[in-house]
Structure 1
Amino acid sequence: MLKAKTTKWRVLRRILFALIGLAIVVVGLGILAAWVPMGTAPSGEFKARVTASSNYEDGGFVNKQPMWNDYTGWITSLGDVSDHLEPESPIPVFDRTAEVLSQPPQSLRVTWLGHSTMLFEMDGIRVLTDPIWGESPFPITWLGPQRWYAPPISLEELGSVDAVLISHDHYDHLDHPTIVAMASWDTKFITPLGVGAHLAYWGVPTEKIVELDWWEETKVGSLRVVATPSRHASGRHVLDQNRTLWASYAIIGQKHRLMFSGDTGYFDDMKTIGDKYGPFDLVMIEVGAYHKTWPDWHIGPEQAIEAHRIMRGKLFLPIHWGLFNLALHGWTEPAERTLAAAQKAAVPVVMPIPGEPFELSNTPKLRKWWPEVPWQSADEHPIVSTKDGTPENRYKWEH
């Protein structure tokens, strides 16, 4: 009997060791798969530009207005999950994107390709923002959220692009497989300070990379591209938080002006941006991935409409929604709340289906291409922090 028990224990122990070994192998393979996509720290000239910035303090970049956090709420918010996180049926996608884009525009042409990926065509210049053609905004793609539809146009069909703007280095804005695919393009890559180090690490020649601090600008043909402030954060893993800068962009052409927010919370310098570079013919501000207890680095629909007004916007196009599940709210909620807030504020909105190009002189009729899904309004949320980091309830999330 004793021998039988000993044999049984040896078998169980071998199984346990085998499982532990398998887990170590899986974790190791995951780390190896994620190592290169995680990017690299700024060094050399990249590091020198970072540390010389007035926005860099004590080893990292800082916002002028500190983030607001409800740490207890982070935990309790996990139970506040919508029943409609993802689409239950296929999302309509424009099926003639490549055909339309193959023809020259008559005026400013804009194409929303999903999330924060935009193509602008103005003054004969083509500019792409935060391009993400990859399957998931996560270093181990099969573990992360999956995109809800294929890119409306392939990179091969897209053709030449004069500039690629990167707002910051979070995975849903700086996509490793996309950058690798673009590395050989005859394109100028414009990034905030420090982000260029990731691109160089992935094979983009340094002479194609232009890094900007807040309020600095560069030229792309006849266009002025200004890196304006935003209120957000950066980092691709636990140990690299805020070591690269984040930014929004003002794109100024001969006849038109555009504002691209990247990711941001509400902040006072939005008025300064509008005063210096507005009025903007089109303003694109993120409206998705928020919760009332999360850090106020995502502005939300109602505050986005208010920011549009303060930055002297004319037409509003919501971005940062409709491609990935990155929050706890229903996937259609950002769109519904944006429309409600815009109607209340009398702000004109354009919401094309993914991949639908439009010209500013002929915007598509506003229609709800997403399904009717129940949603709830949020409670009051502090979108502006005072100088000491305490919340200031200047606006409410309403519908």
Structure 2
Amino acid sequence: MLVAIVIIVILIGVYVLFMNTYPVFGRRPSQVDIQRFGKSPQYAHNKFENPVPAMMNMNFGTTLGILRDMIKGSPYRRPKAPLPMEKPRFNVNGDTTVTWFGHSASLITIDGKALLLDPMFGRMPSPFPWVGKNRYSGGIPFDIAELPQIDAVILSHDHYDHLDYGSIMKIKHKVKRFIVPLGVGAHLIRWGVPAAAIEEHDWWEDVSFEGLELACTPANHFSGRSTNDRGATLWCSWVIKGKNASIFFSGDSGYTSHFKEIGDKYGPFDLTLMECGQYDERWADIHLMPEETVQAHLDVRGKVMLPIHWGAFTLAIHDWNDPVTRAAKAAEAKGVKMVTPPIGQTIIVKDSDVQSYPKANWWALP
């Protein structure tokens, strides 16, 4: 019995030491931060919460069903060959442009500023990224050294498929400012980003940044990077407005009335980057189904929709191109203009000539 107790104590000690020293997990907000969070309408019961409760607690039967579906598998959960990529154009002068790098990582150039959204450039969204299969494209269509100076990295939340330790470590020296939801700054500080280069925001806060008008807006999701930090940091969507273009970035979210509220306050948008992927009816409260992606685009009063959160990783049970296939069908039925540029292709955001956007259905290939 004594030996068993000693072994258990040692294992607990090793676990605690690992959780506190392994940098990929980030850092929980401090007590000073938590006192500051108490002023947020989203903070209650010592954590951030959705105003519309998200059902994420799976019962035993549901859990068994998910495990069964995962084991059963499908030959189409990953593409049969690496996805095509194009070399991006890193020109921050002149036109407003968007370059999608797979999943939610995107580069926006607007009014001469370069903004990186959720820059996950790693091979696998996990605390142990060397385990598991590589991203669908096999990599990213550029070398990190080729990135221009980044005026701001804008983050939606701290999940591994959006906030990647390895990517931040490689790009942080190129970034002037990190603009993030409440609490996410603690991770960045642990990774060596100066606190003075970070600003945190709550929902419905308007932000002026070097001539751009941003807004931190709601999303129905959750946060967490380890076993006991769910809700320790906030999650959000973002409004980005320049002199001649307006863009909405949805982050991750289930479908609620907040999309219409955002559209009423900040719309219309020339382009929306809308979450579309990693969904399932069993967790529809925290991820949009493809048909809801199109409706959310309409709710925020978007003109052109670029579906994101797909095309890089298998994080759900659906086929790899099911998100864009279903979204394209729903978009056609509702008269929504949807663009699907290949990974790395830089597109110009236009406020009037929507017919000139690229129309290649590369994702329909086997």
State whether TM-score is above 0.5: yes
Report deviation, 1:145. Answer: 4.5
1:222 maps to 2:211 = yes
Partner of 1:202: 191
Moved more, 208-217 or 42-51: 42-51
For residue 200 of structure 1, give the secondary structure of its aligned residue in structure 2: helix
The CA deviation string for residues 246-289 of structure 1, in whole angstroms up to 9 with x for no partner, is 00000111121110011110111211100110000001111100
1:231 maps to 2:231 = no
1:250 maps to 2:243 = no
Report deviation, 1:54. Answer: 1.7
The CA deviation string for residues 17-75 of structure 1, in whole angstroms up to 9 with x for no partner, is xxx9xxx8xx97x9579821001110154333223212100111110111135633332
Partner of 2:83: 91
How well do the aligned residues superpose, as a CA RMSD in angstroms?
2.1
**Contact 1:49–1:194 under 8 Å retained in 2:** no
Q: 2:285 aligns with which of 288, 293, 296?
A: 296
The CA deviation string for residues 296-325 of structure 1, in whole angstroms up to 9 with x for no partner, is 201121001001001101000000000111
1:326 maps to 2:315 = yes
**Contact 2:92–2:114 under 8 Å retained in 1:** no
Q: 2:257 aligns with which of 256, 263, 268?
A: 268
Moved beyond 4 Å, runs of 4+: 30-34
TM-score w.r.t. the length of structure 1 is 0.82
Partner of 2:4: none
Which protein is bigger by CA-based radius of gyration? 1
Partner of 1:385: none
**Contact 1:231–1:297 under 8 Å retained in 2:** yes
CA distance in 1, matches of 2:166, 2:358: 35
Partner of 1:134: 122
1:65 maps to 2:52 = yes
Overall identity of the aligned pairs, in %? 40
**Contact 1:270–1:311 under 8 Å retained in 2:** yes
Q: Which amino acid aligns with 1:59?
A: N
Q: 1:312 aligns with which of 301, 309, 315?
A: 301
CA distance in 1, matches of 2:364, 2:18: 39
CA distance in 2, matches of 1:257, 1:295: 28
1:40 maps to 2:27 = yes
**Contact 2:94–2:111 under 8 Å retained in 1:** no
TM-score w.r.t. the length of structure 2 is 0.89
**Contact 1:250–1:259 under 8 Å retained in 2:** yes
1:150 maps to 2:139 = yes
The CA deviation string for residues 178-217 of structure 1, in whole angstroms up to 9 with x for no partner, is 1122333341101100010000011000000000000113
For residue 183 of structure 1, give the secondary structure of its aligned residue in structure 2: helix
CA distance in 1, matches of 2:332, 2:20: 46
Q: Which amino acid aligns with 2:81?
A: S
CA distance in 1, matches of 2:166, 2:33: 22
Partner of 1:386: none
Report deviation, 1:372. Answer: 4.3
Report deviation, 1:154. Answer: 2.0
Partner of 1:78: 67
CA distance in 2, matches of 1:140, 1:61: 26
**Contact 1:130–1:174 under 8 Å retained in 2:** yes
CA distance in 2, matches of 1:252, 1:201: 31
Q: What stretches of structure 2 of length at least 5 have no aligned partner?
A: 1-6
Aligned residue-pair number: 344
